[in-house]
Chain A
Amino acid sequence: MRQAIHIFKKEFGAYFLSPIAYIVIALFLLVTGWFFFAGFFIYNRADLRNFFNLLPIVFSFVIPAITMRLYSEELHAGSYEILLTMPVTYFDVIAGKFLAAVAFVGVMLVPTLAYPITVSLIGDLDWGPVIGGYIGGILLAAAYSAIGIFASSLTRNQIIAFMMGMSICFVLTMINKMLFFFPQTILSVIGYLSADNHFQNIAKGILDTRDLLYFLSVVFIGLYATHIVMQEKR
């Protein structure tokens, strides 16, 4: 576990060594800020529903971009060999990289706290859904990061990793809006698969174990699949 922390520190630090991190953060803030405030005064409601409605779809693009380098870059440069021949386990590597990605998303979310603070100054804001939204946001980020890491472990090409990660995340986000394509009998199953549904539940301020379990399962499946891929590479 100590090794995982060292890898986490290194990976987290590595994000800020390249300009990509700052570009991603800036783009994220620009997009979310624009869409949030564009409708804010028209709705004339003191809540962040607009922002949290948008978050899953923005995440499904931004998070694969954050995770795409975690394995692909190492596989491409060959440093993967150096990493794995040091006294670390697969678990250390996966945990370190995963936590670094989630922590980076956390850092990315911090500036958006300006939105609820602004809103609370000009209106009567209910903080419950806001706190729920941020907890849900982190859970969603963890799930998408796990998927992105899995995609990254499959290829040495970062662009392919991004495309694969984005596709999976996008489908998980949008699937609840496509339900009319599916037969009645499997609707509830498909509905359960939707990350957006679970996220919106939490963003309403309701912490349900079913939603929690969903996100934890996605994280577990993504990281376990990565473990299998790593083992396959030997």
Chain B
Amino acid sequence: MIHVESLTKYYDDFCAVDQISFDIHRGEILGLLGPNGAGKTTTLRMLTGYIAPTAGDIRVKDYSIEEDMLDIKKLIGYLPESAPIYNDMIVYDYLQYVARIRGIGKEEWNDRIRHLADICGLNDIMHKVVDELSKGLKQRVGLAHAMMNDPEILILDEPTSGLDPNQIVEIRQIIKKIGQEKTVVLSTHILSEVEATCDRIIIIDRGKIVADDTTAAIKQSAGEKQFVSLSLLDAEFKDVEEALKGIDGIIKIDKVDSDDEGVVAVKVTVRSDADPRGEIYRTIKQTDWVLVEFHRETRTLETIFRELTKEY
């Protein structure tokens, strides 16, 4: 659907995006993940044609951004960061204006606007001035704006930034619903967001792609180690270490600070191909320690993200 090849953008001397290449397929929800200033917004702005790349090429379907920008713009619905909508307009007037520019005929306006109002939950605010809306409501108007012409590709820049948790869940549901039929590209620096919504993740850092895979694959690329956490009552760390030491697959046993009094918290480092949980349990059962907590820690997206984007 979208083919990006060695896309580069320089702002004067500063290289915001450095030779990135990727493909976006039809019907995919792609999350562009990265720390602040990694080049997410710049990449999206180039995809939408708002700014021109310094080098590289973007092809949307068979259109090239050099020659057929107008055709590409017709395919794309775009919601910029923090939804900068004309402040002095009434929501309905604004949507009507967008419908006109998007070339939607007079007969279809009302149906289309009503439909979008239902999807985005705008029915109560149709006749309010944009200026009076809360950030979340404005974001929803922006979403309606982006979906006006039923675009094949929806590009959303930080769609949930600045929203409260309820609004975030709502917007995510909307995005997921759209993503069933459309191609969605969204950028964020919130990890739980991509985890909750995206099929595929591209992590960029300082203008370069550091990871590009499906959400599940990225989470599974756990590396060689995994961890098991234990919390025990009536035990001494030394004894625990002694008892567990001999179990196959355990690499290291560490004491962890615990908030609860009398509880010994232990972090066991385990080889990734082994699962010694049964053995650990049987060992502990033979003592009079009370096991209050016992779980395996899979590597979260957060740890992966931090490893990939940490400062050197």
Contacts and interface: CB of A to CB of B under 8 A. Distances in A.
A7 interface: yes
B73 A81 contact: no
B50 A81 contact: yes
B100 A6 contact: yes
Nearest to A5: B100
Contacts of A82: 78, 80, 84-85, 145
B74 A6 contact: no
B82 interface: yes
Nearest to B76: A85
A1 interface: no
A3 B49 contact: no
B88 A81 contact: no
A186 B293 CA distance: 93
A88 B73 CA distance: 8
Contacts of B100: 6, 9
12 contacts: A6-B100, A6-B101, A17-B88, A77-B84, A77-B86, A78-B80, A78-B84, A79-B85, A82-B78, A82-B80, A85-B80, A89-B70
Interface string A109-144: 000000000000000000000000000000000000
B52 interface: yes
A86 B100 CA distance: 11
B157 to A, nearest CB: 9
A87 B80 contact: no
Pick the most buried of A13, A84, A86: most chain B CB atoms within 10 A of its CB: A86
Given A6-B100, A88-B101, 16 more contacts: A3-B101, A7-B101, A13-B93, A77-B87, A78-B84, A81-B45, A81-B84, A82-B85, A82-B145, A84-B49, A85-B76, A85-B78, A86-B73, A86-B98, A88-B73, A234-B52
A17 B94 CA distance: 13
A105 to B, nearest CB: 21
A9 B94 CA distance: 12
B103 interface: yes
A10 interface: yes
B177 interface: no
A18 B101 contact: no
A87 B50 contact: no
Nearest to A6: B100
Contacts of B102: 86-87
Interface residues of B, number: 27
Contacts of B88: 14, 17-18
Contacts of B50: 81, 84-85, 234
A85 B85 contact: no
Pick the most buried of A13, A78, A89: most chain B CB atoms within 10 A of its CB: A78
A79 B101 contact: no
Contact of A234 (B51, B85, B98): B51
Interface string B90-111: 0001000110111100000000
Contact of A87 (B82, B93, B101, B145): B101
Interface string A1-24: 011001101100110011000000
Contacts of B87: 77
Interface in A50-97: 77-79, 81-82, 84-89
Contacts of A7: 101
B76 to A, nearest CB: 7
Contact of A81 (B74, B80, B86, B89): B80
B52 A79 contact: no
Q: 10 shortest A-B CB distances, which residue pairs?
A: A78-B84, A234-B52, A87-B73, A6-B100, A85-B48, A85-B78, A81-B80, A79-B84, A17-B88, A87-B74
Nearest to B84: A78
Contacts of B45: 81
Contact of B86 (A79, A85, A87): A79
Contacts of A86: 73, 98, 101-102
Interface string A219-234: 0000000000000011
Contacts of A79: 84-86
A88 B93 CA distance: 19
Pick the most buried of B51, B52, B80, B101: most chain A CB atoms within 10 A of its CB: B101
A17 B89 contact: yes
Contacts of A18: 88
Nearest to A88: B101
B80 A10 contact: no
Interface string B142-159: 000100000000000000
